[in-house]
Amino acid sequence: MLSWSPPPTNLQNGIIVNYTVQISVSGSLEAFEVYSSATTVTLLSLRPYRTYSCVISAATVIGQGPPSTVFTITTPEDSESILIVCSVLWWCVSFSVPTGPPNVDNYFAQDSTTIVFSWNPPREEVQNGVIRKYIVQVEEIESGNFSLYTSFSTSMEISSLHPDYTYDLRVAAFTIAIGPYSDVVNSTTPEDGEFIYRLKTSQVILPVICSYKL
C-alpha cells in the first residue's frame, strides 16, 4: 500500500477529486498508472528485487496539477511482507523465489571418480534477489541414490564417484529459498585406467581418450 499527503492547501487551487500515480520499472520500458480518490492506493503484482520510479499528481475538475518529485524504491527479497518507509511514503510488498533455473554450461568426467559440472546464473529478470548459493542434485542411475551439494560459485567438482557409472546432474539457484532446477544432463565416468580430456572448440566439445598400463 502506498500513501501520501495532499499538496499544501494554498497550492491546491480547488477541490482535489483524484490522484494519479505514475510508475515505471527502472532500466526497462515497462510503465503503468493507477488512480485513487483518496491519499492511498494498493499496488499489486509488483516483482521482487526491482527498482520502481514513481511520481504522484493531484487533479481538480479543471485538470491535473504538476507531478511530485520523482522518488525510487526497490522491492525487497524478503520472504515476508515488510514495511519500507521512504520520506512520507509507506510501501508494503512481498517476495517470491527465483522463477528461472541456471543454464548448464559444461559437464564431463575428469577421471573415473570425478565429474566437473559448470553453469551460468539464471537470467537477471528471473533471479528475484541476490543469489546466495546453488544446490546441485546428483542421481546415480545404477543405484538410484540421490546426493545434494552446495556451491557458492558456478562450478564444482563432484568426486568420490564410482567408475563406469552414469550420473544425472541438475542445479538450482538459492536466494532466500530454492528456485526451479535446470534440465537434467548426464555424464558417465570411465573405467579405471582411462583418462578423458575435453577440448572445447567453439560450440563443439571434442573428447580425447587415452589408456595407460602400469
The reported pLDDT for the residue numbered 42 is: 79
* Banded pLDDT at 105 (limits 50, 70, 90): very high
- CA nearest neighbour of 98 among 181, 152, 179: 179
Beta strands 166-174 and 178-181 are: antiparallel
Residue 199 has pLDDT above 50, yes or no: no
Cα separation, 16 vs 4, in Å, equals 14
Mean pLDDT, rounded, for 59-86: 67
- pLDDT at residue 180 above 70? yes
Query: 71: closest CA among 84, 97, 89?
Result: 89
Q: What is the pLDDT of residues 112-143, one digit of tens each?
A: 999 999 999 999 888 888 888 899 999 999 99
Nearest CA to 136 among 126, 145, 128, 146?
146
Predicted confidence at residue 197, as pLDDT, reads: 45
- Exposure string (b/e) for 167-204, b if CB count within 10 Å is 16 or more? bebbbbbbbbeebebbeeeebebbeeebebeeeeeeee
The SS3 call for residue 162 is coil
Distances (CA, A) of 212 to 108, 109, 160, 196: 20, 17, 21, 12
Which of 10-24, 43-57, 143-157 shows the highest mean pLDDT? 143-157
Q: What is the pTM of this model?
A: 0.54
Overall average pLDDT of the 13-35 stretch: 83
Sorting pLDDT into bands at 50, 70 and 90, what band is 159? very high
pLDDT value at residue 39: 87
Regarding predicted confidence, which is higher, 91 or 172? 172
Q: Which carries the bigger pLDDT value, residue 54 or residue 214?
A: 54
**Rounded to 5 degrees, what angle do the CA atoms 17, 23, 28 make?**
160
For cell 504538476, the residue is: 66
- Going along the chain from its start, the domains and CATH numbers come out as 2-93 (2.60.40.10), 103-211 (2.60.40.10)
Q: Which residues contact 199 (CB under 8 A, 6 or more apart)?
A: 205, 206, 208
Q: What is d(CA 20, CA 67) in angstroms, rounded to the nearest whole number?
A: 9
If you ran DSSP here, which 8-state letter would residue 64 be given? B
pLDDT tier for residue 193 given thresholds of 50, 70 and 90: low
- Compute the distance between CA of residue 103 and CA of residue 135 in angstroms, rounded to an integer: 13
* pLDDT over threshold 50, residue 91: no
In 65-145, the DSSP E strands lie at: 71-74, 82-86, 89-93, 103-111, 114-120, 133-140
